[in-house]
Amino acid sequence: MPHAQIVGWGMYVPSRVVANDSFVKMGLDTSNEWIASRTGIEERRLVGKNEATSDLAVKASLQALHTAGAHAGDIDLIIVATCTPDHVMPSTASLVQTRLGATRAGAMDLNAACSGFVYALATGAGQIESGRAKQVLVVGADELSIHLDWKDRNTCVLFGDGAGAVLLRASQEAGVLSSTMGSDGSGADLLIIPAGGSRIRANHNGKSNRNANGDQYLKMNGPQIFRWATQMMAKASEDVMAASGLKPEQVDLFIPHQANLRIIEATARRVGIPSQKVFSNVGHYGNTSAASIPIALCEAIAAGRVKRGDNILLSSFGAGLSWAALAVRWGVSVQARPTPWSPLRLQIETRMAAVRSALRKQNRRVRTSIDSTLHRDQD
């Protein structure tokens, strides 16, 4: 059976940095002290007006292809984990697919909220292990800021925007060791954006017909999620370690979902992994939902925390309620990989990707027009 190895990685966060003090300046009844001490978050990145989820996802994906030395045309499947897609349809993955020029790839979105990236990684690995795909691009990208009520101090200080991506490739050597996914829909109301789907529909002005209740905003029972998350992430981590034949001391790096430093520390304590083996960057980005783990992975690699042969444990929780964990043996040399692009090079490459997509669109229009002319002539 082929193994699924991570051979490329990339991340992108918007340039706008919003520090905790900004909320105080906005008139919110909070403080830098409260936010930093209760969550570990000091700042987050938020998108500008015209930045959609696919824009972030494309930039992270281009970096992942670059570090892998891979061509978009060789990708078999693209999975974008997101709960904030550009549109209800088509999938954000399809938009990423055309912008990358991944002309052979299937494309689909996966919504498991903050657990989405680990769900998608497990799904992509399964495609490779079954022999149905050789290369799968897995992206976690979210812009939860578009669903935040900036007057609700319980939620708006917690989240940030961003994207991360990895390229999975079939290999004879071990890569993804094992994974677990779970859900308990009885807790669906504990973390929810009620409007925009079929239960509470948008009206013709594009707004929910129950906007007065703020149903377009993310609503959360923070303390209940907190308690559940520390238990569930620990359980999922233990399950996946057991399935992978790993003891806590054999885990070289633990990358949990970056929602709250206290949840991260409590989970690590429960699982028995010492703090020096835990990676956290929640202080800089807040909770970026499905993007949090791949962004943390990229920063751990950049910080020299990942080397060939390492056992890495990923664990996440989110709306659903959902949870997932996955263990991976790192199979590629990090030193030999190209460094991520400079912002200018990334900007140029992103523009070129957009031009290539526009050319393909034009090409299809011309062919459709020729086809209809030919049919008219035949009639």
Is 363 among the catalytic positions?
no
Question: Shortest Cβ distance from residue 165 to ligand ACO (Å)?
Answer: 19
How many angstroms separate the CA atoms of 32 and 19, rounded? 8
Question: Shortest Cβ distance from residue 292 to ligand ACO (Å)?
Answer: 9
Smallest CA-to-CA distance from 183 within 29, 368, 364, 317 is with: 317
Give backbone dihedrals phi and psi of 335, rounded to 5 degrees, phi first.
Answer: -60, -40
Q: Hey, which residues between 146 and 205 contact ligand ACO (CB under 6 A)?
A: 153-154, 157, 191
Question: Shortest Cβ distance from residue 201 to ligand ACO (Å)?
Answer: 22
Catalytic position from the list 3, 111, 257, 298: 257
x/- letters, 101..140, toward ligand ACO (CB under 6 A):
------------xx--------------------------
- Calculate Rg over the CA atoms of the chain: 21
- Partners of 49 in beta bridges: none
Count the Cβ atoms, other than its own, within 10 Å of residue 38.
16
Question: Shortest Cβ distance from residue 162 to ligand ACO (Å)?
Answer: 13
Would you give the end-to-end CA distance of the chain in angstroms?
54
Catalytic position from the list 20, 66, 114, 311: 114
Position 32, amino acid: N
Find the helix or strand (DSSP H, E) in which 298 lies: helix 292-302
Interacting residues of 249 by C-beta distance below 8 A, sequence separation 6+: none
How many angstroms separate the CA atoms of 132 and 105, rounded? 12
x/- letters, 220..259, toward ligand ACO (CB under 6 A):
x-xx-xx--x-----------------------------x
Asked whether position 38 contacts ligand ACO by CB under 6 A, the answer is: yes
Is 114 among the catalytic positions?
yes
In what order do the strands lie in the sheet containing 311-318?
176-183, 322-329, 311-318, 253-256
Selected binder of ligand ACO within 5, 30, 63, 97 (CB under 6 A)? 30
Contacts with ligand ACO by CB under 6 A: the residue count is 23
Give backbone dihedrals phi and psi of 32, rounded to 5 degrees, phi first.
Answer: -60, -40
Is 287 among the catalytic positions?
yes
When the beta carbons of 182 and 222 are compared against ligand ACO, the nearer one is 222
Residues with a known catalytic role: 114, 257, 287
Q: Applying CB under 6 A, which residues contact ligand ACO?
A: 30, 34-35, 38-39, 113-114, 153-154, 157, 191, 220, 222-223, 225-226, 229, 259-260, 287, 289, 318-319
